[in-house]
Structure 1
Amino acid sequence: MGLLRGVVTALLASKVIATKGLSADDFDVLDYVDPLIGTAKGGHVFAGASLPFGMAKAVADTSGENQAGFAFDTDVVTGFSHMHDSGTGGAASMGNFPIFAQGSCPQDDLQQCQWQLSDRSVSWDKKSVKARPGYFGISIANGVQAEMTTTNRSALYRFTFNETSDQPLSPVILLDLIDLPQSRSNGSANVDRKTGRLTGSGTFGPSFGTGSYKSYVCVDFKGADLRDTGSWMKNQVNASSQTLSVDNSIDSTVSAGTFARFHAPKDKKSIMARVGVSFISVQQACSNAEREQPNFDFEGTVHAAETAWRKKLDVISMDADGVSEDLQKVFWSGAYRTMLSPQDYTGENPLWKSDEPYYDSYYCIWDSFRSIHPLLTLVDPLSQSLMMRSLVDIYRNEGYLPDCRMSLCKGLTQGGSNADVVIADAYLKKVANVDWATAYEAVVKDAEVEPENWDVEGRGGLESWKNLGYIPINDNDTAGEGTHTRSVSRTVEYAYNDFCIAEMAKGMGHQADYEKYSKRSKNWAHVFKPDQKSSIGGVDTNFTGFVQPRYLNGSWAYQDPILCSPLLDFDGCYLNPEGHETYEGSAWMYTFYAPHDMGSLIKTLGGAKSFTSRLSYLHDSGLLYVGDEQAFLPVFQFHYSARPALSAKQSHFYIPSQFNTTVNGIAGNDDSGAMGSFIVLSMMGLWPVPGQDVYLITPPYFKEVSIRNPLTGKVATIRNINFDPTYKSIYIQSAKWNGKPWTNNWIRHEFFAEGGVLELELGPKESEWGTRVQDLPPSLSNYH
């Protein structure tokens, strides 16, 4: 075993990555990362420059569907801003204090320059866009080429101006007090007449939450002599004014700010703009930029960002011989997107004083608990530890774990208290340096104490949950306030949340709690209506029994089992007060959600054969949309009915059919990297069941893939024997773990913690491997 680990480690150290046409020395992982994947058709992927988990995120902002600032299927650029989120739904996020550059004003008259956001909008050249980890560049029709890179708390822009024969260069760079969602309630801006430094502050609203936050910015320049400065609002310029303020009497869509105008640049027609950002003060925004980028070194900053990304991604290594370049790009780009958020705001939290790390943009845990955090536990356990510590510290200071959080604000709760799942997952996998006693206190509070507003934290309907064992459709909730929808999906999620608490209780020696929460975790069955039928277009699906809403008195209400699927009212099941009883998915899909009690669920659905048939129908009928995160686990749930080969087959249906290298190349929006993590975990061949110490085994999409623990150096390798890059042989015939036969169709986290080799012998037909009852993943109730 020691010799085997040594061989694997040696291979990784020499970076043996067998990509066709490339030697190991020629391989650069960043050549296989395309930040533009998913930037069109509602993918909302952040395309710009960022460090891993960085707060500063610089990109060109476009008009239209601009949740992440830039979208490839848009026509005009409105500015360049320095903080964004990636892949989110809802409204546009942040984009505070955009700057905008113009080569000169018509007739050299400041009043004839374009100032208001809608007026200054200018088309951009789609062929000019270049995006790479740590860098973004674009050319716009006013003759400006914009390039940008970032450090943790600052952005560096290089604006290159095309000189025209009829207009001498005298560039103007403005700072706007607006943000992408146009949520500003007040703001102020200042310009230093001697240096041209632009500073600003403002109060804004979050994109998917409640409350407000304050943000600050500081912009310095290099490359040209200052000509003059001033302030402006809409298209009115005051060259004698160095300050400007707006309040809520000024419409939030109105652009206003300060500017600096320069003489012609001295070198290469370029001006550098260094932008510091902060949530604390203007002074801290300036000091962030001065500390992190003292020399305005654009190439050096790009190089440092690339080095940081290579270091993060270098823990994954593979033999990709025969695998298409496109599939490799799909994989590595997914891994990259998984490390954009949550964002490290440590030292930038004005809400409370703490020595603990502070991460933000948990947007949202309902999306990220299923795959993002389990993947980070594998590839970046240090960051995962810091994030868990941050969640616990949020509980200490806010009173509850968040289900969603962005821009220092409480985000909206979409289902259960799914931070419980993230915490339990980290606990079971022994993520280090977390205050587990306080973490356990936090998850128990979720289960026991209803908050005043369960739209933004905790759980609603706890009285009914404890007394009835389900959330009624007409719940009479007097303990708190929240949106009374999603009674079915909240019920099954609460059940799983309680199971995760039970797992923690068991590990920490709280036997009474373990028994209580294990019992509650079976409540999913209380919304299962055995005689409920389902039809599509008037044709019976021939499956009976689905989750359904219930009234307080125990009688059944009705929701069409296909409602909220792509086949019926797909867009009607969100957080609106008229929303339905399942959230972003149908009763068909939520009927499968009891990942802790699959023995009982399979029996309830008529046995393994019936379960397999029903699950296949869910995928084949168009009822399931893999662009929503609840669809992830059903891809692999065939493991529980002793058909692991069908999980592999289903995985290969979705990848590459729903994921490719185009700007439209993901299903749905990326949800802070959820789709990216689905890709990576699926293609590595070990799907984590979040909140459990369980990984479901399918063959990797590569001949071999390895993960090196960056803290311990231990390496876990999954190796395919008889690998077929045409993917006709994707069925496991037999397996060995460290040279010994392995018949379970799942494996524990020990494999990654201790390192070793899992060898999978493949063939073109389904085999008996992993199909015995004793080979199946753990279940609260026995398999039958």
Structure 2
Amino acid sequence: MAKAVADTQGENQAGFAFDTKTVTGFSHTHDSGTGGSPSMGNFPIFAQPNCPDDDINKCKWQQTDRAVTWVRDSLRARPGYFGIALENGVRAEMTVTNRSALYRFTFSNVSTESLSPVVLVDLMDLPQSRKDGTASVDPSGRLSGNATFHPSFGIGSYELHFCVDFHGADVRDTGIWIQNKANFSQKTVTITAYGNNTPAVFSAGTFARFHALKDNTITARVGVSFMSVKQACSNAETEQPNFDFAGTVSTAESAWRDKLNVIRINADGVSSDLQKVFWSGAYRAMISPQDYTGENPLWKSNEPYYDSFYCIWDSYRGVHQLLTVMDPLSQSRMIRSLVDIYRHEGYLPDCRMSLCKGYTQGGSNADVLIADAFLKNIRDVDWNTAYEAIVKDAEVEPANWAVEGRGGLRSWKGRGYIPTDDYDPDGTGLHTRSISRTVEYAYNDFCIAEVAKRLGHLSDYEKYTKRASNWQNMFKEDQKSAINGIDTNFTGFLQPRYMNGTWGYQDPIFCSPLMNFTSCYLNPDGHETYEGSSWLYTFYAPQDMATLIKRLGGPQLFTSRLSHLHDSGLLYVGDEQAFLTVFQFHYAGRPALSAARTHFYIPSQFNTSASGIPGNDDGGAMGAFAVLSMMGLFPVHGQDVYLITPPFFKEISIRNKVTGAVATIRNRNFDPQYKAIYIQSATRDSKPWTKNWIGHDFFTQGGVLELELGLKESTWGRRVEDLPPSMSTY
């Protein structure tokens, strides 16, 4: 829950970004890789070596005024540790436990005579969403308080509490400050919102000033809690009783090693840059969702509580599949948490952060996560309640489907699609995205059907299987597409449709990088697809690729069209809907083309440069895509299917933390120059394996998948019987 880092001006969605110049504070809670506006960054602390002329009012207090340039070559970052030097002579280092952060400030370039450090805490957050707050300081120098904030991508508000203690220096004096004025006489400051005139844009807080330090170092311990100030203090005292910075760094690093060491790679010949792409991707995929168990004031429960599902629309296509492989126990706890949210909130979330309901971007995609976990035998989940939750998504429209469930269910059930002019008296939500919502609802229903079948609900299985074909109701067979006035020679695209059954029109390339790329977001003018074009969404039928391929003209024309999507500039891999299209050549019997595409995007889009994550990381989604692609087994979300391509390493092994089994993928004739990237033949445990996909039992039971590589495409994985599962036959 604690994630300490420097907060920068400018790009600061997760606190720190490399392409910035100044730091305004160091805060303890963050959501990483969210995109859009920043999230959290509550109660930043900031250290100054002294106040000019020893005048407390000559220190810099206000958030923008106290910004200090950071030293470019000073940055040190690794799992469990972050360090940075500022041009005011302060070097700040930080580490965390689960509920507390520990900061070490070292002061240089300041004479001993003038060194009298001031450390402030600010009742602020990164998006400046504070509604009201209170901070106090006691004679020992303990700073504590709380404030109410708004979530960055949702509705409602949340209250957070903090508790700061210091070690390594004697307190000289304490006080409060508002904007750029400070005083020693007051020990409590309160900021209150009046109506809509919320004073979120100015800073206020408390501070402690210290006598000169013997070793020029002071340590600050910060506990955080969503429950109370008392619990924030208890969290810090329990987790870090000794202010042991080196010990906390070591413990944090050990925790990360325990998570990451389930994977072993033979990286002979592989560049260090590609290794960094792989391991940093795994690291980033494990930052969220965040374990807030014991920190949920909304309801009492013995179940785990996870937050920062930010958002499932992003994470359901890769993050949770990677966690299922690397950390199935945590994935179990996350699924249990989703089910418990349903018990107490009435619906599964599609997005959730800071104890608040987040905005739904497409379908009810927690349904996909439930099915994915169920099919892969994730343990300790109440599957009956989970099934009840996903069926409710499909059958009962909520009052506000902007933040949960699905809208337009009257049309969905009656017409089999979401009309662009939908009449929906049953709930309130944003009446856009009719195309993307239709294809996602269809896939959500397919996932429900999978669970229904295995739980023995056969009538439900039949109903939701039928609904899973509803994507075809928006497929306009004669729709053409042109780029710059030149016909692409591909016919048949998803198009808007009205309630009376007639067709609307949205240019198939609209909301692609070639045309109005940023016109399809979550706003009233967001159009009929979300963060992507009809070109892209026309490929989204992973439940029935056999039918999709037929409707797009057969395997050869499908392959040509999919290649055009990648080659023409229509596709941006920085949006998660692009992920599966990299591997959908498998369904047309061309797995070699999927392998070629992964080696194009890695490293052209995924690399170690400052721009080496396309778009934003979306809570680790981009990191998960890189890891899964380089691992060579890309999961089809919501199905027990992994599409096989050669790993980027000579050998990679994944140990299952539940069963202890080790799954190994080994390349024979491995070429670190990546010219021989085409599978010629494969064996599983020394027996021929001709399917171009494999199931999750490979990870739970272990074994060896050995791939013989060559320079040219072979016949491996191309037969109809070797293609991935589909609702209809190829």
2:239 matched to 1:303?
no
Per the TM alignment, residue 711 of structure 1 is displaced from its structure 2 partner at its CA by 1.8
Conserved? CA contact 1:104–1:167, under 8 Å? no
What are the residue-to-residue correspondences of 1:756-771 with 2, within 5 Å? 756-771=703-718
Give the alignment partner of residue 569 of structure 2, picking from 622, 628, 648: 622
Partners in 2 of 1:61 and 1:163 — Cα distance? Answer: 23
Per the TM alignment, residue 663 of structure 1 is displaced from its structure 2 partner at its CA by 2.3
TM-score, normalised to structure 1's length? Answer: 0.92
* 1:246 alignment partner in structure 2: 191
Amino acid aligned to 2:290: Q
Partners in 1 of 2:112 and 2:94 — Cα distance? Answer: 29
* 2:302 alignment partner in structure 1: 355
Deviations 1:82-101 (A, max 9, x none): 00011002211000100010
* 1:66 alignment partner in structure 2: 12
Per the TM alignment, residue 500 of structure 1 is displaced from its structure 2 partner at its CA by 0.2
Partners in 2 of 1:728 and 1:163 — Cα distance? Answer: 54
Conserved? CA contact 1:636–1:647, under 8 Å? yes
TM-score, normalised to structure 2's length? Answer: 0.99
Partners in 2 of 1:261 and 1:61 — Cα distance? Answer: 22
* 1:455 alignment partner in structure 2: 402
Partners in 2 of 1:80 and 1:143 — Cα distance? Answer: 16
Per the TM alignment, residue 712 of structure 1 is displaced from its structure 2 partner at its CA by 1.6
* 1:154 alignment partner in structure 2: 100
Partners in 2 of 1:132 and 1:166 — Cα distance? Answer: 32
* 2:609 alignment partner in structure 1: 662
Deviations 1:91-133 (A, max 9, x none): 1100010001000000000011111111111111111010010
Amino acid aligned to 1:224: A
Conserved? CA contact 1:82–1:95, under 8 Å? yes
* 1:94 alignment partner in structure 2: 40
* 2:625 alignment partner in structure 1: 678
Conserved? CA contact 2:659–2:701, under 8 Å? no
Partners in 2 of 1:378 and 1:111 — Cα distance? Answer: 55
Conserved? CA contact 1:187–1:245, under 8 Å? yes
2:541 matched to 1:588?
no
Partners in 2 of 1:196 and 1:757 — Cα distance? Answer: 59
* 1:32 alignment partner in structure 2: none
Amino acid aligned to 2:108: N
2:169 matched to 1:224?
yes
What are the residue-to-residue correspondences of 1:121-136 with 2, within 5 Å? 121-136=67-82
Between the two proteins, what is the percent identity of the paired residues?
A: 73
Give the alignment partner of residue 747 of structure 1, picking from 671, 694, 706: 694
* 2:653 alignment partner in structure 1: 706
Per the TM alignment, residue 163 of structure 1 is displaced from its structure 2 partner at its CA by 4.5
Per the TM alignment, residue 302 of structure 1 is displaced from its structure 2 partner at its CA by 0.2
Conserved? CA contact 1:85–1:341, under 8 Å? yes
Partners in 1 of 2:20 and 2:201 — Cα distance? Answer: 20
Q: Which has the higher contact order (CA 8 A, sep 6+)?
A: 1
Deviations 1:563-614 (A, max 9, x none): 0100111111100101010000000000000001001000000000000000
Amino acid aligned to 2:70: W
Amino acid aligned to 2:462: E
* 1:366 alignment partner in structure 2: 313
Deviations 1:672-709 (A, max 9, x none): 10000000000010010010111111000111101000
* 1:43 alignment partner in structure 2: none
What are the residue-to-residue correspondences of 1:200-279 with 2, within 5 Å? 200-249=145-194, 251-266=199-214, 268-279=215-226
Per the TM alignment, residue 162 of structure 1 is displaced from its structure 2 partner at its CA by 1.6
Q: Unpaired runs of 5+ in structure 2?
A: none
What are the residue-to-residue correspondences of 1:566-581 with 2, within 5 Å? 566-581=513-528
Per the TM alignment, residue 524 of structure 1 is displaced from its structure 2 partner at its CA by 0.5
Deviations 1:299-328 (A, max 9, x none): 000000010111111000011111111111
Per the TM alignment, residue 71 of structure 1 is displaced from its structure 2 partner at its CA by 1.0
Residues matched between the structures, number: 727
Partners in 2 of 1:366 and 1:527 — Cα distance? Answer: 21
Per the TM alignment, residue 713 of structure 1 is displaced from its structure 2 partner at its CA by 1.0
**Partner SS, residue 410 of structure 2:** helix
* 2:292 alignment partner in structure 1: 345
* 1:738 alignment partner in structure 2: 685
Deviations 1:463-487 (A, max 9, x none): 0000000000000000000000000
Moved over 4 A (4+): none
Amino acid aligned to 2:199: D
Deviations 1:250-292 (A, max 9, x none): 62011000000000112x2000000000000000000000000
Amino acid aligned to 2:144: T
* 1:480 alignment partner in structure 2: 427
Amino acid aligned to 2:211: H
Give the alignment partner of residue 58 of structure 2, picking from 106, 112, 118: 112
Amino acid aligned to 2:453: K
Partners in 1 of 2:653 and 2:172 — Cα distance? Answer: 57
* 2:413 alignment partner in structure 1: 466
Amino acid aligned to 1:237: A
* 1:516 alignment partner in structure 2: 463
* 2:353 alignment partner in structure 1: 406
Amino acid aligned to 1:262: F
**Partner SS, residue 118 of structure 1:** coil
* 2:667 alignment partner in structure 1: 720
Moved more, 242-251 or 62-71: 242-251
What are the residue-to-residue correspondences of 1:321-336 with 2, within 5 Å? 321-336=268-283
Partners in 2 of 1:163 and 1:729 — Cα distance? Answer: 56
Per the TM alignment, residue 756 of structure 1 is displaced from its structure 2 partner at its CA by 0.4
**Partner SS, residue 667 of structure 1:** coil
* 1:83 alignment partner in structure 2: 29
Partners in 2 of 1:689 and 1:342 — Cα distance? Answer: 20
Conserved? CA contact 2:129–2:200, under 8 Å? yes
**Partner SS, residue 504 of structure 1:** helix
**Partner SS, residue 57 of structure 1:** coil
**Partner SS, residue 578 of structure 1:** coil
Partners in 2 of 1:251 and 1:320 — Cα distance? Answer: 54
* 1:46 alignment partner in structure 2: none
Per the TM alignment, residue 164 of structure 1 is displaced from its structure 2 partner at its CA by 2.6
Give the alignment partner of residue 189 of structure 1, picking from 129, 135, 147: 135
Partners in 2 of 1:232 and 1:167 — Cα distance? Answer: 25
Per the TM alignment, residue 357 of structure 1 is displaced from its structure 2 partner at its CA by 0.3
Amino acid aligned to 1:236: K
Conserved? CA contact 1:134–1:149, under 8 Å? yes
Per the TM alignment, residue 167 of structure 1 is displaced from its structure 2 partner at its CA by 6.0
Partners in 2 of 1:429 and 1:224 — Cα distance? Answer: 54
Partners in 2 of 1:443 and 1:90 — Cα distance? Answer: 29
Deviations 1:20-79 (A, max 9, x none): xxxxxxxxxxxxxxxxxxxxxxxxxxxxxxxxxxx0000010111211011111111100
* 1:179 alignment partner in structure 2: 125
What are the residue-to-residue correspondences of 1:510-659 with 2, within 5 Å? 510-659=457-606
Partners in 1 of 2:485 and 2:216 — Cα distance? Answer: 68
**Partner SS, residue 119 of structure 1:** coil
Per the TM alignment, residue 165 of structure 1 is displaced from its structure 2 partner at its CA by 4.1
* 1:442 alignment partner in structure 2: 389
Q: Unpaired runs of 5+ in structure 1?
A: 1-54
Partners in 2 of 1:667 and 1:575 — Cα distance? Answer: 20
* 1:18 alignment partner in structure 2: none
Taking only aligned residues, the RMSD between alpha carbons, in angstroms, comes to 0.8
Per the TM alignment, residue 203 of structure 1 is displaced from its structure 2 partner at its CA by 0.3
